[in-house]
C-alpha cells in the first residue's frame, strides 16, 4: 500500500491529465462528422490511435511540468512543437491533401483573423469556439500554451538581457490595434469588400506581426508581438477573468523584483507587484514562480490551496494543449 501511495504521489497529475485528454478527444472522435482527428480522416477507426498518443503526450508533459523550476523549459519546447505541427499541417493541406485542413478550405493562420474573420463574414467558425472554450476553462492559457504564433514570439524574446522597465503606453497601443481590427472588419462587411482585399489585409497584419517579433521582441527580449500588438492577446487580457483562475502575490513578497526579469509579458512591474497581483497582460504561464525565493507568487482558484489550484490549472491547460495538438486545424 505504501508503494502504491508513493507511486500515486509521484504521478498523480498524470492520473488526472490522461482521463481529461481522453474525454476531450474521445468525445471529438465519437461525435464530430466529418472527423476532426487527422488519422480518422484517412483510415476509419484510427482516430483512437491519436487519442492514445495524445494521452501519452499529455502524461509526459505534465510529469515534466509539475516541477515549477522546469515549467519554462518544458513550455518553450511543447509550445514550439505545437506551432511546428500547426504550420506543417497547413503546408501538407496546401500541397498534399486538403484533408489536413479542418474544413478543406484555407483560413489565414494569423491570430487577429480569429477575431476579424467572423466579424467580416458575420459567421462564427470553429477557431473562435476553440478560443472561447480555452479562456473559460483556463483563462489566458491560450497566450502561453496554445497560440500557434506566440511560440515564435517567445523564441524571439529568449535569451539574456531582458528589460526590467515597463513598456510605455502599452494599454493605449493595444487598444488602438484591436479597435482598428474590429473597425476594419466591420467596415469590410458593411461595404461588401471582396475577399481578395480582405485576405490581403489579413496577410498584411500577419507580416506586420512577424516584423514586430523579429525586430522588437528580439531586441528587447520581451514578447512585444503578444503583449502589445496582437489583438487576440488583448481580447484575452480583457475577458480572461471569466475563468476562476488567478495569479496572486502574497504579503511574503519583499519587492526584490527578481520575478520581473523572468516575465516576458510585461506583467510584473513595480506597480503590479505593489498591488499584489500581476498586470493585465499576465498569461499565468508560471515562469516567474521559481524566481521568487519567498514563494510569494501563487495560483488561485476560489478557496483551493495554492498548490491544488496550480495542479488543476496544469491538468486543464496541458490536456487542452495535447488535445489541440492532434486536431485538424485551419
The per-residue pLDDT for range 248-305, each reduced to its tens digit, is 999 999 999 999 989 999 999 999 999 999 999 999 999 999 999 999 999 999 999 9
Whether pTM exceeds 0.85: yes
Work out the pLDDT band at 93, boundaries 50, 70, 90.
confident
And the C-alpha cell for 279? 498586470
φ/ψ region of 97 (left if φ > 0, alpha if ψ in -120 to 50, else beta) reads: beta
Q: Say what the alpha-carbon torsion angle 299, 302, 305, 308 is, to the nearest 10 degrees.
A: -70
Residue ranges per domain, the chain?
Answer: 2-325
Residues 6+ apart with CB under 8 A from 28: 36, 37, 323, 327
Q: How far apart are CA 71 and CA 1, in angstroms?
A: 31
Q: How far apart are CA 219 and CA 157, in angstroms?
A: 8
pLDDT tens-place string over residues 154-196: 999 987 765 667 899 999 999 999 999 999 999 999 999 999 9
Amino acid at each position: 500500500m505504501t508503494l502504491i501511495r508513493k507511486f500515486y504521489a509521484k504521478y498523480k497529475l498524470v492520473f488526472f491529465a490522461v482521463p481529461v485528454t481522453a474525454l476531450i478527444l474521445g468525445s471529438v472522435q465519437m461525435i464530430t462528422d466529418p472527423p476532426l482527428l487527422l488519422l480518422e480522416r484517412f483510415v476509419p477507426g484510427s482516430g483512437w490511435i491519436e487519442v492514445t498518443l495524445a494521452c501519452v503526450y499529455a502524461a509526459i508533459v505534465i510529469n515534466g511540468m509539475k516541477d515549477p523550476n522546469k515549467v519554462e523549459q518544458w513550455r518553450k519546447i511543447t509550445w514550439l512543437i505545437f506551432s511546428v505541427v500547426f504550420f506543417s499541417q497547413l503546408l501538407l493541406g496546401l500541397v498534399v491533401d486538403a484533408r489536413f485542413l479542418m474544413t478543406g478550405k484555407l483560413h489565414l493562420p494569423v491570430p487577429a483573423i480569429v477575431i476579424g474573420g467572423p466579424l467580416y463574414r458575420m459567421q462564427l467558425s470553429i477557431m473562435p469556439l476553440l478560443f472561447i472554450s480555452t479562456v473559460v476553462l483556463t483563462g489566458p492559457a491560450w497566450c502561453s500554451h496554445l497560440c500557434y504564433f506566440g511560440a515564435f514570439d517567445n523564441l524571439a524574446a529568449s535569451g539574456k538581457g531582458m528589460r526590467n522597465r515597463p513598456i510605455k503606453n502599452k494599454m493605449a497601443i493595444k487598444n488602438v490595434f484591436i479597435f482598428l481590427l474590429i473597425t476594419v472588419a466591420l467596415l469590410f462587411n458593411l461595404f461588401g469588400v471582396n475577399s481578395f482585399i480582405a485576405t490581403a489585409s489579413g496577410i498584411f497584419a500577419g507580416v506586420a506581426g512577424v516584423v514586430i517579433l523579429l525586430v522588437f521582441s528580439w531586441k528587447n527580449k520581451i514578447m512585444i508581438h503578444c503583449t502589445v500588438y496582437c489583438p487576440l492577446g488583448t481580447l484575452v487580457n480583457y475577458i480572461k477573468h471569466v475563468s476562476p483562475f488567478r495569479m496572486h502575490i502574497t504579503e511574503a513578497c519583499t519587492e526584490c523584483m527578481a520575478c520581473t526579469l523572468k516575465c516576458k509579458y510585461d506583467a510584473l512591474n513595480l506597480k503590479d507587484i505593489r498591488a499584489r497581483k500581476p498586470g493585465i497582460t499576465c498569461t499565468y504561464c508560471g515562469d516567474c514562480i521559481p524566481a521568487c525565493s519567498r514563494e510569494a507568487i501563487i495560483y488561485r482558484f476560489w478557496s483551493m490551496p495554492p498548490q491544488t489550484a496550480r495542479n488543476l490549472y496544469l491538468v486543464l491547460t496541458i490536456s487542452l494543449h495535447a488535445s489541440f495538438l492532434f486536431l485538424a486545424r485551419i
